[in-house]
């Protein structure tokens, strides 16, 4: 019987999440005085996104089939929801727990939030094909 959580595979996603976090740390160094706050925010988001990546690449993508097109389409739609609205709700949980720093009123700081949805998938795809082996 196959285990629900493959520790070796999950460690791979953890290391890729850490690499993505370090890349964001380098980009956060351009913001003077906000590096610590942004690093904590990034750590909060990367935990959610790493688990989503694991589910997407290990369970969802291998189960997509043309013969079950409607089911496959619903699975993709569910992941799009989890990467956009789910990430926003995860942010709201972080704000409620005083872990995540909320956006200033009237600001347009939504871009860092969405970097973790699409950009993280691109990073994971470009980091190597060892995920699909």
What tens-digit pLDDT sequence spans the chain (133 residues)?
Answer: 456 677 888 888 889 889 888 888 888 788 777 788 888 888 898 989 889 988 888 888 888 899 999 998 999 889 888 888 888 888 889 989 988 887 665 555 666 666 666 656 655 554 544 444 3
**What's the pLDDT score for residue 130?**
43
**What's the pLDDT score for residue 70?**
92
Q: What is the C-alpha to C-alpha distance for residues 123 and 133, in angstroms, rounded to an integer? A: 18
Compute the C-alpha angle 76/16/45, nearest 5°. 65
Residue 31 DSSP class: S
First to last CA, the chain: 20
Domain residue ranges of the chain, discontinuous segments joined by +? 7-33+41-132
**What's the pLDDT score for residue 125?**
56
CB-hemisphere CA count at 13 Å for 30?
A: 4
Q: Which of 37, 81, 35, 30 has its CA nearest to residue 55?
A: 81
């Amino acid at each position: 019987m196959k285990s629900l959580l493959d520790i070796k595979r999950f460690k791979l996603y953890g290391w890729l999440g850490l690499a993505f976090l370090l890349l964001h740390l380098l980009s956060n160094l351009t913001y003077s005085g906000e590096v610590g706050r942004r690093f904590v925010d990034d750590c909060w988001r990367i935990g959610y996104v790493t688990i989503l990546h694991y589910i997407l690449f290990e369970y969802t993508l291998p189960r997509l089939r043309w013969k079950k097109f409607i089911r496959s389409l619903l699975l993709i739609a569910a992941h799009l929801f989890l990467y956009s609205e789910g990430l926003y709700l995860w942010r709201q949980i972080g704000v409620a727990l005083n872990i995540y720093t909320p956006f200033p009123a009237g600001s347009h700081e939504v871009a860092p939030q969405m970097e973790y949805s699409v950009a993280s998938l691109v990073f994971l795809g470009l980091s190597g094909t060892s995920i699909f082996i």
